[in-house]
Amino acid sequence: MRLTAVLYLVSFRAAQYGSALFVYLLKNKSGRQKLIKKLQSLESNMSTGRKLFRLGNTVSSIDAAKRTMHLEDPVLRLCLTVANLNRSLYFLCDNILWARSIGLVTDMDKEKWSVRASRCYFVSLLMNLTRDLYGIYRAMEREAQDKQYRQKVSQHCSDSRDVACMAVLNLQAFLLLLYHSLRHNPSVLLDTAKNVCDLFIPMDRLGIYKTNPGVVGLCGLMSSILGILALVKPSFKLKP
C-alpha cells in the first residue's frame, strides 16, 4: 500500500515537471495558448495533489532519521541522518505553504517560507550526493580488489617510464575502475543521477545557479523517471 502511494506521488511529480517543460517549449508557439493553459492547469493540479500526499512525510522523515542514527558506518550515519532531518524540515515548510495556499494560514511571508523550504531541500540533496560519492568510493575499493579487474588494468599498462604516458595510463586505469564499479552497482549510479538532476531545482530557486523553467522542468522530469525506475525495480534502489 505504501509503495503504491509513493508510486502515485512520483507519477504526479513527473506529470508536474513534464507539464512545466512543455509549457516552456510551447510558450513562443503561435496557436498553442489553449494547450498551454491546459498544461499549466495540469501542473497546478499535480502540485496540489503531491502536497496532499506529502502531509505525513515530515513524520516519516523524522522516523527515517532515527533509524539512520544507528548505522554502524559513521559516514552513512552522518550523511543520511542530516539528509533526513533537512528533508523533514523541507516537508514542514512545504506543508505550511500548502496551508497558506488554501487559506488555513494567512499571517505569513510566502516568499520567506519558500526560500526556507528550498534551503532545506538543497542541504538534503547535498548530503545525499555526499553519500552517493562515498558509495562510489566504496564500490571502487571493492572493484580494485577483484582479480579480473587487475588483469584488465595490466593489459593497459606497460613498463614505460615516460611521465606523460604513465599519467594517461593512470587516468585510463581510474576510468576503467569507475566504469566497472558503476556497472556492477547500478543503484549508486541511478541515485547519483537522480540527486544531480534534483539539485538544479533548489539551486535555481535560491539563485545559486540560475537556469530557466525549461531546465528545471527537464531535470524534475528526469529525476521522477529515475525515481519510478527505482520503485518498480527494487534492485535499483540504493540501500540503506
How many domains does the chain contain in total? 1
Cα–chain center distance at 13: 13
Q: Over the chain, what is the mean pLDDT?
A: 87
Phi, psi of 158 (to 5 degrees): -140, 180
Q: What is the distance between the alpha carbons of residues 90 and 94, in angstroms, rounded to a whole number?
A: 6
Global confidence as pTM: 0.89
Residue span of the structural domain in which 216 resides: 2-236
Q: In b/e form, how buried is each residue of 81-105, taking b as 16+ CB within 10 angstroms?
A: bbbbbbbbbbbbbbbbbbebeeeee
pLDDT tens sequence across 67-116: 999 999 999 999 999 999 999 999 999 988 888 888 887 788 889 999 99
Banded model confidence at residue 166, pLDDT cuts 50, 70, 90:
low
